[in-house]
Amino acid sequence: LIVVVAIPLFEKMTALDAVGPYEVLWRLPDVDVVFVGKEKGTIESERPLGLRVDKTLDEVPAPDVVLVPGGSHTDDMVADKPLVDWVRQAHETSTYTVSVCTGALILGAAGILEGLDATTHWGEDETLEDYGAHYVPKRIVKEGKVITGAGVSAGIDTALRLAAELRGENIAKAIQLLIEYDPEPPFHTGSREDAPPEIKKLAGQLHAYNQGKGPAPASGG
């Protein structure tokens, strides 16, 4: 039986939130990954990378797996009624409902995280709790069929875990080898716990700059 994984794409999303999981999941036997959106055609991610929407949300109302990426324009995301409504409805019949990064806020806006432990990008922990979730600073949080992943790059870890749920651990292990996922982060600053204060400050400045809301930060060393 084919498992259909639907990944919604939307304007100003974070591309890696979707493409990391895609690169893991399309390799699974008898799994179809489909990119859905409000309209067919090209959407532009946060800094314009054009990604193609292959089917409309209406055309894929009941996928087996819903995997929701995020972005930093979170106010727009949670106010996107067609997207949030689609996620809410798809969740009713899904086998797994998954988010990466601030995709968790869309799950929250759809009412899916009420009373659940969940994770998201470290910068949106409080927003997540506004939706009745309990933020847990973990890479992946699984609550029944709801799986939430941490920020951006966590989509790869999350998808490997999901791959094991769908097709068994050995297949997931083989995919980890095929994508040579043996990470060697050059620095020890990937989490809020590990990053020193000056790097956290610089990250805030860089984030503002990336959103067009501040000057280019000095490198500070």
At residue 156, the 3 state secondary structure works out as: helix
Take residue 103 and report the two structure tokens written for it.
């995709």
The burial class, CB within 10 Å (0-12 / 13-18 / 19+), for 138 is: middle
The type of residue at 96 is Y
Which positions are annotated as active-site residues? 101
Is residue 213 a contact point for a copy of itself (CB under 8 A)?
A: no
Dist. CA 220–CA 142, nearest whole Å: 39
Instruction: Please report, as residue ranges, which positions from 64 to 93 form the binding site for a copy of itself (by CB under 8 A).
Output: none
Between 84 and 172, CB nearer to a copy of itself: 172
Between 6 and 16, CB nearer to a copy of itself: 16
Among 8, 10, 13, 23, binds a copy of itself (CB under 8 A): 23
Among 3, 30, 87, 144, binds a copy of itself (CB under 8 A): 30
Cα–Cα distances in angstroms (integers) from residue 32 to residues 11, 28, 153, in the given order: 23, 8, 22
Among 19, 117, 129, 143, binds a copy of itself (CB under 8 A): 19
Distance of CA 70 to the CA centre of its chain: 5
Is residue 101 a contact point for a copy of itself (CB under 8 A)?
A: yes
Instruction: Please report, as residue ranges, which positions from 145 to 174 form the binding site for a copy of itself (by CB under 8 A).
Output: 150-154, 156-157, 160-161, 164, 167-174
